[in-house]
Chain A
Amino acid sequence: GESVGLHLPTLSVQEGDNSIINCAYSNSASDYFIWYKQESGKGPQFIIDIRSNMDKRQGQRVTVLLNKTVKHLSLQIAATQPGDSAVYFCAENSGGYNKLIFGAGTRLAVHP
């Protein structure tokens, strides 16, 4: 069936380094992708999104890359800070209110 998965369950980085969190999706009909950040004890928080007609989108310190050929999505965080420590989810939407599928999440741990 349709699924969204993540390559690494935990990612450890040094403060100041760049982080890359990866995500694979299997539904070629998905046309919208979202990255969420979830801090401990809190709900998911929208970080950045990208539509299928784009291959790159930049925000503040974050960049999302979309490779539709291999159905791969990545989130790049520049100059990672301790406050970036959280679980990051990717989600894909193939249209409709009930078509948003979330990945299981990757935990990002930032070390001083």
Chain B
Amino acid sequence: NAGVTQTPKFQVLKTGQSMTLQCAQDMNHEYMSWYRQDPGMGLRLIHYSVGAGITDQGEVPNGYNVSRSTTEDFPLRLLSAAPSQTSVYFCASSYVDRGVDEQFFGPGTRLTVL
């Protein structure tokens, strides 16, 4: 199993540009989530999904959109990037009956918005 994969590893955007961060998992996990990690702070939940077609907001959802058309993929969209979105983004997945108890994290995407 590849586990949780994220692409790209690094990205630089200009303010106002849009992009999609990709996340995929091959463990047939129902639950998937996106976090951002900023220096000196813990991970904060952006959006999460408990299955295909079901998404919900986390702690810091503003400026981000998600969709879940398949069990495997959970892309995160930035519609109009802002410098405040400079961060490291992590995707995670787990079985829904485990919830956040046993999440597997991807390697992260480091995003810089100029």
Q: CB within 8 Å of B: which residues of A?
A: 4, 32, 34, 41-46, 49, 89, 91, 93, 96-105
Contacts and interface: CB of A to CB of B under 8 A. Distances in A.
B74 to A, nearest CB: 13
Interface string B14-48: 00000000000000000101000000111111001
Given A43-B108, A98-B56, A98-B58, A103 B42 contact: yes
B100 interface: yes
Nearest to B104: A46
**Shortest Cβ-Cβ A-B pairs, 9 listed:** A102-B42, A43-B105, A100-B100, A102-B43, A44-B105, A103-B42, A43-B90, A104-B42, A98-B58
Interface of B: 4, 31, 33, 40-45, 48, 50, 56-59, 90, 92, 99-108
For B31, B57, B58, B99, the residue with the greatest tally of chain A CB atoms inside 10 Å of its CB is B99
Contacts of A101: 42
Contacts of A4: 42
Contacts of B56: 97-98
Nearest to A34: B101
B42 A105 contact: yes
A32 B103 CA distance: 14
B45 A41 contact: no
For B58, B90, B103, the residue with the greatest tally of chain A CB atoms inside 10 Å of its CB is B103
A97 B99 contact: yes
24 contacts: A32-B101, A34-B101, A41-B107, A42-B108, A43-B4, A43-B106, A43-B107, A44-B90, A44-B105, A46-B104, A89-B42, A89-B43, A91-B42, A93-B99, A97-B33, A97-B50, A97-B99, A98-B57, A100-B100, A102-B42, A102-B43, A103-B42, A104-B42, A105-B42
